[in-house]
Amino acid sequence: MRPAPTDTEAWNAYLAEGNAGQARKRVSADVILRDLAGRILTVNPTYKEGWDLPGGMAEVNEPPDQAAVRELREELGLEVTIHRLLVVDWVAPHGPWDDQIAFIFDAGTLPPARAERVRPHDDELSEAVFLPASEVADRLRTRQRNRLNAAVRAISDGSMRYLRDGMEAW
């Protein structure tokens, strides 16, 4: 039997029981960060094959935009401002992983003096370089490449893109 909302303790227990049965999503948050030449910052993680956009996984109860800001601070020593959301990608379960929601945010453009000083600040990254979008795409795995391409289109036309497993859904 459902308790009355006026019985705060019983109502909260009822809601917590329902919440416990809800899906839990892994969340990643990456950024498009450019230099004045329009090149995109790309990083080489040490813990997996291939290159990636800067960012990473959100911690428990951490908003995706704040996760991106935190990851850039931790891994690159950069303080960035998120300008807007570019891409949301739902990733189906694969291998040992449950499904995931991946976000890409626009973090704007770094001035030359800051862009020249970008270096990995921890052992999760071996390299960080600014490259033209086509060269970034060549270094990324297929799903990440599709996200990058969608993000570049979103920047150019002012839109936001929704993908399902790396493919534009609508």
Q: Average of pLDDT values for 19-37?
A: 92
What pLDDT score does 89 carry? Answer: 98
What pLDDT score does 122 carry? Answer: 92
The beta strands (E) that lie in the chain are given as 26-34, 40-45, 55-57, 84-91, 100-109, 125-131, 161-164, 167-168
Structure-token pair, residue 153: 């289109």
What pLDDT score does 20 carry? Answer: 82
pLDDT tens digit string along 117-168?
999 999 999 999 999 999 999 999 999 999 999 999 999 999 999 999 999 9
Q: Average of pLDDT values for 57-78?
A: 97
Local confidence band at 63 (pLDDT 50, 70, 90 cut-offs)? very high
19 pLDDT above the threshold of 90: no
What pLDDT score does 21 carry? Answer: 82
pLDDT tens digit string along 70-114?
999 999 999 999 999 999 999 999 999 899 999 999 999 999 999
Burial classification of residue 126, based on how many CB atoms lie within 10 Å of its CB (0-12 exposed, 13-18 middle, 19 or more buried): exposed
Inter-residue contact 144 to 55 (CB < 8 Å): no
